[in-house]
C-alpha cells in the first residue's frame, strides 16, 4: 500500500462530504427549473451557498459558484481587469506576485498578450514572501493606472503565507481591488473573507476534502466583474452554466468541516510536519528546506526541500517505486522538465531548483507515513545522485 504525501495536489474526501455527495447524486433537478424538482435543487444550492459563506466569513450573495479554483482565478483576473479598464480606459496595469499558481499567472500573461494589460510581477524574498516595499513603490508611481492586485493567501509549493493585510492596506489607498487565491489556505489557517478586506477570493473543493469540479469565487458586493462565460446568466449574470447541486452541497460540507476542525488539524499536522522536516534533515543532512523557517509563516501541512545533485523527477519516480507518493511542486506542471518558477523567483539557482520535492500532509496522514518516507529517502537520494552523475559523465 502506498504512502500518500501529496495532499496539496488533492486530498481524500472527508466522510461527511462523501455522504452528502452520494445522497444528492441520485436526485434529479436543474436549479434553474421552476418545477418542484428544480426548486428542490435550487434549495440545495442556496443552502450550500449559505453554509460556505458562513464558514468563510462572507455573505451568501458574495459566493459565485465555479467549476474549481482555475475557473475562479480566471474570472477574478479577467473579469476584474476588463471591468476596471472599461471604466476609464487607463487602468491597464495588472500586479501579480511572481510566485502565484499558474491558474493566476497564465491568465495574467494571456491578458498581457491579448487584452492590452501591462503585467507587473511583484518580487518576493528568499522565503517567497511578497516584497511589500516593491508594491508600495509601484503604487506610488502608477497607482492611477493599476486595475487590480492579485497575491495568493498561501503558496502551493513552499507553503509561504503572504502579508495580505499589508497588501490590502496599500491597495485601498489607491482604490485598487485585491484578489487572493486561498485554495491552499482554507482548513489550514484562519480565513475570513469579510475581515480580510479582500475584494475577491478563490476557494476549491478537492483541496479541503470535497469533490473535484467544484469551486467558488467570493466577490464582495458591488465589485464589477465582466463575465468570462456567457450563456444562461446564472450566478448574478457573472458565471453562466448549469449548477451541479450535488457537487456544491458536498463542497460546502467539506469547507464547513475543514474550517470547524481547522485548529485541531493545524496543531497535530504541524507537529507531524515538524517531525518530517527534522527526519529529512537527519537522514539527508544537505537537504535544504525551502520557504520560511518560521513555522508561523508557512502552512502547517507543507514541507518543501531541494536535494543537491538530484533531479526532482528522478526523486519522484524513485520514491513512487518505493511506494511513496510526493510531488515536485505544482501538480499542474508535473512532467514538464523545467525548474519551479516559485523557487527561481525566490532566488534559488536553476540547478538547485531542479532538485525539488514537496511533501504535503492531510487528514489521513500518520507518523507511520513519515517513518516510511524516512526509511526510503536516503537510498532514493543516493540513486538519484548516481543517475545524475552518470548523465553528466555521458554528456561530457
User: Grid coordinates in use for 105?
Assistant: 499567472
Q: Which of 50 and 392 is assigned the larger pLDDT?
A: 50
pLDDT at 388: 73
Residue 391 has pLDDT above 70, yes or no: no
The pTM of this model reads 0.95
In order of start, what are the domains of the chain with their CATH numbers? Answer: 3-10+262-395 (3.90.1150.10), 15-260 (3.40.640.10)
Give yes or no for a contact between 204 and 215, defined as CB atoms under 8 angstroms apart: yes
Span of 16-20, 71-75, 392-396 with lowest mean pLDDT: 392-396
pLDDT digits (tens, 9 = 90+) for 225-283: 999 999 999 988 999 999 999 999 999 999 999 999 999 999 999 999 999 999 999 99
Residue 107 has pLDDT above 90, yes or no: yes
Q: Starting at the edge strand that comes first in sequence, how are the strands of the sheet with 93-97 ordered? A: 63-66, 215-219, 200-204, 178-181, 146-150, 93-97, 118-122
d(CA 319, CA 158): 20
Residue 295 has pLDDT above 90, yes or no: yes
DSSP 102-117: HHHHHHHHHHHHHS--
Give yes or no for a contact between 111 and 117, defined as CB atoms under 8 angstroms apart: yes
**Percent of all residues in the chain with a pLDDT value above 90, rounded to a whole number:** 91
Structure-derived torsion over alpha carbons of residues 120, 125, 129, 134, reported in degrees to the nearest 10: -40
Query: b/e per residue, 244-275, with b = 16+ CB within 10 A?
Result: bbbbbbbbbbbbbbbbeebeebbeebbebbee
pLDDT digits (tens, 9 = 90+) for 145-196: 999 999 999 999 999 999 999 999 999 999 999 999 999 999 999 999 999 9
pLDDT at 333: 52
310 is catalytic: no
pLDDT band for position 395 (cuts 50, 70, 90): very low
d(CA 153, CA 21): 28
Give yes or no for a contact between 41 and 49, defined as CB atoms under 8 angstroms apart: no
Give yes or no for a contact between 287 and 281, defined as CB atoms under 8 angstroms apart: yes
User: Which residue among 332, 334, 336, 390 is the active-site one?
Assistant: 332
pLDDT at 84: 86
pLDDT at 396: 44
Average pLDDT over residues 65-89: 92
Please, is 230 exposed, middle or buried when counting C-beta atoms within 10 Å of its C-beta (0-12, 13-18, 19+)? exposed
pLDDT at 319: 98
DSSP 191-230: --HHHHT-SEEEEESTTTTS-TT-EEEEE-TT-----SB-
User: Grid coordinates in use for 171?
Assistant: 491597495
d(CA 117, CA 73): 16
358: phi then psi, degrees, rounded to nearest 5: -110, 125
Average pLDDT over residues 63-68: 98
pLDDT band for position 331 (cuts 50, 70, 90): low
In this structure, what DSSP letter does residue 241 have? S
pLDDT at 31: 95
Average pLDDT over residues 185-211: 98
The CA distances from residue 236 to 28, 87, 222, 370, in Å, are: 23, 20, 12, 46
Dihedral sign from CA coordinates of 24, 27, 33, 34: negative
pLDDT at 85: 80
Give yes or no for a contact between 152 and 99, defined as CB atoms under 8 angstroms apart: yes
Residue 337 has pLDDT above 90, yes or no: no
Label the pairing between strands 63-66 and 146-150. Answer: unpaired
d(CA 160, CA 191): 15
DSSP 115-136: S--EEEEEPB-TTS-B-HHHHH
Average pLDDT over residues 283-294: 97
**Percent of all residues in the chain with a pLDDT value above 70, rounded to a whole number:** 95
pLDDT at 384: 96
d(CA 83, CA 168): 19
Name beta bridge partners: 148.
94
Amino acid at each position: 500500500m502506498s504512502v500518500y504525501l501529496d495532499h496539496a495536489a488533492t486530498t481524500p474526501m472527508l466522510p461527511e462530504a462523501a455522504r452528502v455527495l452520494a445522497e444528492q447524486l441520485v436526485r434529479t433537478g436543474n436549479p434553474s427549473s421552476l418545477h418542484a424538482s428544480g426548486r428542490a435543487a435550487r434549495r440545495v444550492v442556496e443552502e450550500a451557498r449559505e453554509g460556505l459563506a458562513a464558514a468563510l466569513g462572507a455573505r451568501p450573495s458574495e459566493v459565485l459558484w465555479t467549476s474549481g479554483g482555475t475557473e475562479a482565478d480566471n474570472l477574478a483576473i479577467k473579469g476584474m481587469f476588463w471591468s476596471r479598464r472599461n471604466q476609464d480606459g487607463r487602468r491597464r496595469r495588472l500586479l501579480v506576485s511572481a510566485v502565484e499558481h499558474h491558474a493566476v499567472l497564465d491568465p495574467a500573461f494571456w491578458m498581457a498578450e491579448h487584452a492590452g494589460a501591462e503585467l507587473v510581477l511583484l518580487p518576493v524574498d528568499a522565503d517567497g514572501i511578497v516584497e511589500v516595499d516593491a508594491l508600495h513603490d509601484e503604487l506610488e508611481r502608477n497607482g492611477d493606472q493599476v486595475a487590480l492586485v492579485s497575491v495568493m493567501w498561501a503558496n502551493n509549493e513552499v507553503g509561504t503565507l503572504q502579508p495580505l493585510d499589508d497588501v490590502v492596506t496599500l491597495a485601498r489607498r489607491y482604490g485598487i481591488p485585491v484578489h487572493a487565491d486561498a485554495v491552499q489556505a482554507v482548513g489550514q489557517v484562519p480565513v475570513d473573507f469579510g475581515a480580510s478586506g479582500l475584494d475577491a477570493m478563490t476557494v476549491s473543493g478537492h483541496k479541503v476534502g470535497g469533490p473535484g469540479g467544484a469551486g467558488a469565487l467570493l466577490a464582495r458586493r458591488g465589485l464589477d466583474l465582466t463575465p468570462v462565460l456567457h450563456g444562461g446568466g446564472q450566478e448574478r449574470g457573472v458565471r453562466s452554466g448549469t449548477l451541479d447541486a450535488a457537487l456544491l452541497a458536498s463542497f460546502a460540507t467539506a469547507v464547513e468541516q475543514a474550517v470547524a476542525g481547522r485548529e485541531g488539524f493545524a496543531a497535530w499536522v504541524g507537529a507531524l510536519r515538524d517531525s518530517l522536516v527534522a527526519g529529512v534533515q537527519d537522514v539527508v543532512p544537505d537537504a535544504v528546506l525551502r520557504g520560511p523557517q518560521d513555522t508561523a509563516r508557512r502552512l502547517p501541512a507543507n514541507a518543501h526541500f531541494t536535494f543537491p545533485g538530484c533531479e526532482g523527477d528522478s526523486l519522484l519516480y524513485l520514491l513512487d517505486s518505493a511506494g511513496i507518493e510526493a510531488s515536485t511542486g505544482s501538480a499542474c506542471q508535473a512532467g514538464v522538465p523545467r525548474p519551479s518558477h516559485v523557487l527561481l523567483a525566490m532566488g534559488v539557482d536553476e540547478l538547485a531548483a531542479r532538485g525539488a520535492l514537496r511533501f504535503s500532509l492531510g487528514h489521513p496522514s500518520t507518523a507511520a507515513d513519515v517513518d516510511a518516507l524516512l526509511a526510503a529517502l536516503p537510498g532514493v537520494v543516493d540513486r538519484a545522485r548516481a543517475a545524475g552523475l552518470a548523465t553528466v559523465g555521458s554528456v561530457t
